[in-house]
Amino acid sequence: MNAFLLERFHNFFGPGPDPLAVRAPGRVNLIGEHTDYHGLPVLPMAIGREIRLLFRPRADGVVRIASANGFPARQFRVSREIAPFEQGDWGNYAKAAAQALACEYGHLAGMDALVWGDIPPAAGLSSSSALVVAFALALAGAARAADLPVLTSGHADVGVNYEDGAWDLHVHAEDLGLEYEPDGVVLQVGAEALTQVPTNAAFSFLGDAGAPIWVLPAVENHDLLFLGLGTEELAPGIFSNDTVTLSLKSVTGPGDFVLYTLDMFGNPVVSMNSRDGIDASDSRVLTAGGHTHVNWVFTAPGQYRIGLQASGVLAATGETNTSEVAEYLFEVQYAPILSVTRKDAATLTLQWLSREHHEYHLQSSSDLVNGPWSAHPDVDAVEGTGEFMTLAVPVEPGPRFFRLEIYEEAHHHHPD
Ligand SMILES: [Zn+2]
pLDDT at 15 over 50: yes
Q: How far is the CA of 173 from the centre of ligand 1 (A)?
A: 9
pLDDT at 410: 56
Q: Kindly tell me if the per-residue pLDDT of 147 is higher than 80.
A: no
With H, G, I as helix, E, B as strand and everything else as coil, classify residue 205. Answer: helix
| CA 398–ligand 1 middle distance (angstroms) | 46
Whether the ω angle into residue 236 lies within 30 degrees of 0, i.e. cis, is no
> How many A from CA of 362 to the centre of ligand 1?
41
Average per-residue pLDDT for the chain: 89
- In 3D space, the residue among 143, 89, 72, 71 whose CA is nearest the CA of residue 111 turns out to be 143
- The H-or-E segment that residue 396 falls in is none
How many angstroms does the Cα of residue 253 sit away from the middle of ligand 1?
25
Q: How many CA atoms lie within 13 A of 56 on its CB side?
A: 14
In angstroms, the CA 412 to CA 93 distance is 25
Where residue 134 falls (left for φ over 0; alpha for ψ -120 to 50; beta otherwise) is alpha
Distance (angstroms) between ligand 1 centre and the Cα of 62 equals 30
* Domain span(s) for CATH 2.60.40 in the chain: 339-408
Distance 325 CA to ligand 1 centre (A): 21
Q: Supply the DSSP string of 6-30, one letter for each residue.
A: HHHHHHHH-SSSPPEEEEEEEEEEE
CA of 167 to the centre of ligand 1 (A): 19
pLDDT in tens, 240-296: 999 999 999 999 888 999 999 999 999 999 999 999 999 999 999 999 999 999 999
pLDDT at 377: 74
**Beta strand 166-173 pairing with 74-77:** unpaired
Find the mean pLDDT for residues 292-312.
94
pLDDT of 415 higher than 70: no
Residue 318, pLDDT above cutoff 90: yes
Residue 67 Cα to ligand 1 midpoint, Å, equals: 46
Distance CA 25, CA 76 (A): 25
- When comparing pLDDT for 382 and 269, which is higher? 269
Residue 411 has pLDDT above 60, yes or no: no
Mean pLDDT of 150-177: 93
How far, in Å, from the CA of 292 to the mean position of ligand 1?
Answer: 6
User: 219 alpha carbon to ligand 1 midpoint, in Å?
Assistant: 10
pTM of the model: 0.67
| pLDDT above 50 for 16 | yes
| Spatial distance between the Cα atoms of 44 and 404, rounded to a whole number of angstroms | 42
CA of 29 to the centre of ligand 1 (A): 59
Residue 226 predicted with pLDDT over 60 = yes
Q: Tell me the CATH number of domain 339-408, given options 1.25.40, 3.30.70, 3.30.160, 2.60.40.
A: 2.60.40
Going from the Cα of 231 to the center of ligand 1, the distance in angstroms, rounded, reads 10
Rank 146-150, 298-302, 320-324, 367-371 by mean pLDDT and report only the highest: 320-324
Query: For residue 153, how far is its CA from the centre of ligand 1 (angstroms)?
Result: 12
Q: What is the DSSP string of 212-235?
A: EEEEE-SS--TTSEEEEEE-TTS-
Q: How far is the CA of 155 from the centre of ligand 1 (A)?
A: 6
Between the CA of 156 and the centroid of ligand 1 the distance, in Å, is 6
From ligand 1's centre to the CA of 227, what distance in Å? 6
Q: Are 137 and 22 in contact (CB under 8 A)?
A: yes
Fold entry, domain 3-146:
Ribosomal Protein S5; domain 2 (3.30.230)
What's the gap in Å between 4 CA and the centre of ligand 1?
Answer: 51
Q: What is the whole-number distance in angstroms between the Cα of residue 291 and the centre of ligand 1? A: 6
Every domain range in the chain assigned CATH 3.30.230.10: 3-146
pLDDT for the residue numbered 340: 83
Share of the chain above pLDDT 90, in %: 57
Output the CA 172–ligand 1 centroid distance in Å: 9
pLDDT at 201: 94
Task: Give me the mean pLDDT over the 223-247 stretch.
Answer: 95
